[in-house]
Amino acid sequence: MGLFFRKKKRFFRVKGWLSLILLLGSLLALWPPVQSLTAVTSLSDPAKLATLEKRGANPRVNKIVYWLNLSDEWHVSPELITYTALLLNGTHGDHGKLVARTVLRNLKIARELGLLTEENQAKLRRGNAATITLGPYLGEQVEIDHIVPVSLAPEVGNDLANLEMMPSSLNRMKSDRVGERQLSYAENFYRAGLINSESYERVRRKAVLRAPATAPALTP
């Protein structure tokens, strides 16, 4: 009888610990930086991106900026969220570095263009275009530009490494021109195995070795 009660007591002790762990896990999942990590991991998943139609990844760029800014507001580094998310979803090596660079650059662009107002954050969370509230492009909507034109390198049409926020007027001005910056990105994509030799040659032939319009007043 004593053995029975000891086993029963042990059972309820283990059950209590499990309940506490589950409760703590549930509370942790509600912490905004954890929500950010979960969201960015899913939004940047290469397997999911590969299934999207043309320009299907554009809303994801907006959503990722929202989630990275949210983690930053809670004093958790957007860099930590980005690199951990890419590690979790299997975006490794040179590809992971290229994606992280562009994703974090988009957050910087969003800050400089004033895209992180309360109203804009509500738009970004839904994947919608934000409106510029700072600088010379005040009032314009931000579009998602293919750094290397998708007409020349369709393989990176939905790759986050190739998608950058840009004021709509600059995006129209840039069109599918190729300058030094675009050629440099294409070279990196080729080395990382993201585009094939035919696409790289198309970009190289079209290259005009002068810098075309890019995002305003931002460092590479």
pLDDT tens profile 88-125: 999 999 999 999 999 999 999 999 999 999 999 999 99
Round to whole Å and give the CA distance between 115 and 57: 19
Q: Given pLDDT bands bounded at 50, 70 and 90, which one contains residue 1?
A: low
Please check whether residue 122 lies inside any domain of the structure.
yes
Please check whether residue 215 lies inside any domain of the structure.
no
Q: Which of 114, 180, 105 is nearest to 145 (CA)?
A: 105
Residue 174's pLDDT is 83
Please check whether residue 193 lies inside any domain of the structure.
yes
Domain count, the chain: 1
Q: Which two tokens stand for residue 87?
A: 């590690």
Please check whether residue 25 lies inside any domain of the structure.
no
Residue 108 sits in which domain range?
A: 32-132+142-206
Whether the per-residue pLDDT at 219 is higher than 50: the answer is no
Tell me the per-residue pLDDT of 123-152, one tens digit each, with 9 for 90 and over. 999 999 999 999 999 999 999 999 999 999
SS3 of residue 200 by DSSP: helix
Please check whether residue 6 lies inside any domain of the structure.
no
Phi, psi angles (nearest 5°) of residue 163:
-115, 120
SS3 of residue 83 by DSSP: helix
Please check whether residue 92 lies inside any domain of the structure.
yes
Residue 96's pLDDT is 97
Please check whether residue 37 lies inside any domain of the structure.
yes
Residue 192's pLDDT is 97
**Backbone dihedral region of 90: left (phi > 0), alpha (psi from -120 to 50 degrees) or beta?**
left
